[in-house]
Amino acid sequence: MITKRFFDYHPCGVPVYAYDITNGGSVTATVIEYGATLQRLLVKDKFGNCRDVIGGFDRIIDYLDSSEYQGGTIGRVCNRLKNAEYIIDDVKYSTYANEGKNVCHAGRFGFDKKIWSSNFTEDSDEVTFTYLSPDGEEGFPGNLSVRVTFTVTDDSLTINYKATTDKKTIINLTNHSYFNMNGFNSGNMENHKIRVAASKYNETDSELIPTGNFSKVEGTAFDMRKERTIKDVLYGDHPKIRELGGLDTNFIFDGYNGNVNHVADFTGDISGIKMSVYTDQSGVLIYTSNSIKSTEPKMKNGTVQEKHFGACFETAAMPDAVNHDNFDNTILDVGEEYSSTTSFKFSIAE
């Protein structure tokens, strides 16, 4: 069932609507038209109570003032591009550098900062958001038609992305929700348990740009192939973790074959809620809210943000892939369709 309701006015005067999606099970998702943003995700805990397990805001102005992409749909290209440039068919394209000389999460005004159109049927369990990104927006070529569909079943939230273009371009979409299985307002998530089915990750330089090399997790704090407490990772003896104050790392899934596979788990120690991540993408960039400051806008219900309050599971192709011949293909040609699916399935841990 879908309930459409007024959320807030954008400062430009446009009303923004929210969509509550449920089918009567243990999961209810709220998505808003601004940024095709996942604003709330209610999940029943082991006590039968609902907890909101993602960060977010009650007002549009707070999304505008935030620098942390809370819950937004990220595109055209998520994560980082070296020197804010890339080449397609011997033509060099430049994008807006918003992180030093590089671009992060598509530049100044990415998809998370656009007001999307919506389409739904009240008695269904999904809402589709659409956006036409014009040729040249943020320096990306081609008119790109994008559809993002949020579907809720008894125990899952699935996000499906599709796109077509009229000119060869690059695309790599993801969602940037911060997950805390005890509830977004429960403090840090350091006692959560985490598992990631990845034996290697993208090595990065001091600017978090992939070097092109792959590093093994074995024998390091990055090894989460067996479930462990996330604080053991965050405070592990690894120079990159010490440098960043946590994870901002793209892990590459073992046995990736382009199909939807079970790739990660994240479990709250108090709620007992276990989130299992399924995706058809090659990896996940896990970001553990290392740089969040209390000066960021207050979240829902006036909750102050803090370091390590939540973790992002940004399922996608590898960062800066277009600039590496040995990475995923993120080029979309005319006549092709980009498609990506990620599901978050919730259960109670044994």
In the predicted structure, residue 264 carries a pLDDT above the cut 90: yes
Rounded Cα–Cα distance for residues 301 and 20 (Å): 18
In the predicted structure, residue 171 carries a pLDDT above the cut 90: yes
CATH number of 2-348: 2.70.98.10
Measured CA distances, 303 to 81, 177, 297, 306, 314 (Å)? 33, 16, 9, 9, 23
Q: What is the pLDDT of residue 288?
A: 97
- H or E segment at 165? strand 156-165
Triad 340, 268, 59: Cα angle to 5°: 65
List, for residues 27-76, the tens digit of each pLDDT value.
Answer: 999 999 999 999 999 999 999 999 999 999 999 999 999 999 999 999 99
Q: What is the pLDDT of residue 294?
A: 85
Q: What is the pLDDT of residue 237?
A: 86
The residue written with tokens 């960021």 in the block is: 296
176 is catalytic: yes
Q: Which long-range contacts (CB under 8 A, 24 or more apart) does 148-152 make?
A: 148/36, 148/73, 148/116, 148/173, 150/19, 150/21, 150/29, 150/31, 150/38, 150/126, 151/21, 151/125, 151/126, 152/21, 152/22, 152/23, 152/25, 152/27, 152/28, 152/29, 152/125, 152/126
- 41 bridge partner residues: 29
Per annotation, catalytic residue among 33, 138, 296, 314:
314
The whole model's pTM is what? 0.97
List, for residues 77-110, the tens digit of each pLDDT value.
Answer: 999 999 999 999 999 999 999 999 999 999 999 9
**Nearest CA to 288 among 226, 334, 241?**
241
Sign of the CA dihedral with 6 first, then 8, 12, and 13 last: positive
Per annotation, catalytic residue among 33, 105, 176, 190:
176
DSSP 131: E
Q: What is the DSSP string of 196-211?
A: E-EEEEEEE-TTS-EE
Could you tell me the residue ranges of all domains in the chain?
A: 2-348
In the predicted structure, residue 160 carries a pLDDT above the cut 90: yes
Assigned token pair, 40: 């709330």
**Nearest CA to 347 among 290, 274, 297?**
274
Rounded Cα–Cα distance for residues 149 and 151 (Å): 6
Q: What is the pLDDT of residue 350?
A: 86
DSSP 235: T
Q: What is the pLDDT of residue 122?
A: 84
Q: pLDDT class for 207, splitting at 50, 70, 90?
A: very high
In the predicted structure, residue 185 carries a pLDDT above the cut 90: yes
- Mean of the per-residue pLDDT values for the chain? 97
314 is catalytic: yes
List, for residues 269-303, the tens digit of each pLDDT value.
Answer: 999 999 999 999 999 999 999 999 888 999 999 99
